[in-house]
Amino acid sequence: MNYFTVALPVVLASLQSVLADTPEFAIVNSNNGGDLQGYQVYLDNGMLKMTTASEEGYESITDAGKLKLSDGTYAVSLTDGSFVTGTESLGTAGWSVQDGKLYFKGSETFYGVRGSGNGTNATYTFATSQGSDGKAVIFDVMSHTSDPIVNFPDNSTSSSNSSSVSSGTYTNSTTGTTSSNSTTSSNATTSASHNSTSSSASSRSSGAAAVNVPAYGILAALALLM
């Protein structure tokens, strides 16, 4: 029997699952009767906010535990609890999915901090700190593909960028638009220099709990088979 022929598809499939990010998803509050029901997270001028308006934006969690946004940038956590966009190296690690809910650094509780507008047209800042009038929200991860996202572990490591950066004025890396209540370039650069990105091995889950398999172990097994 040709063991190489039999084992190769299994090894390649394992490698694919180890290195995969989540499918793209929307971040939506579908809690019936709860505060801010129907609100979803979207990008607004370089910041993450919440609205009931229909927004064509999908996110994903990378194998390094970072939240990749619809415009190709990454969510950067600020010390005041809000989020802005930045490059991959500046993106804050610590994102995961548990039982179909979005988590950040082990917590499923986020807050909508009131911004502009009234009634159903009101917008809120997406944050991890309540502030003076924030409303607690637990978000569902709603895949727009046929792949369910039930569990996806936090694969950030001690060398991943998991630190928040200071508030200030930030220029969106994609649009060049300047926003307030966000990071300064100097602060962000300093933070990134002490927090390098680390791509951890992870597996995509489709209902069962994910199991991490070291990629180097699979490659070593493949070398032996050859």
The mean-pLDDT minimum among 48-57, 124-133, 165-174, 203-212 falls in 203-212
CATH number of 23-202: 2.80.10
What is residue 186's predicted lDDT score, i.e. its pLDDT?
A: 34
Report yes or no: 97 and 80 within 8 Å, Cβ to Cβ. no
Instruction: Give the residue extent of every domain in the chain.
Output: 1-20+209-226, 23-202
Predicted TM-score (pTM) of this structure: 0.66
**Whose structure tokens read 């194998």?**
63
pLDDT tens for residues 56-84? 689 999 999 999 999 999 999 999 999 99
221, pLDDT greater than 70? no
Which residue in 169, 164, 157 sits closest to 190, CA to CA?
Answer: 164
3-state secondary structure of 124: strand
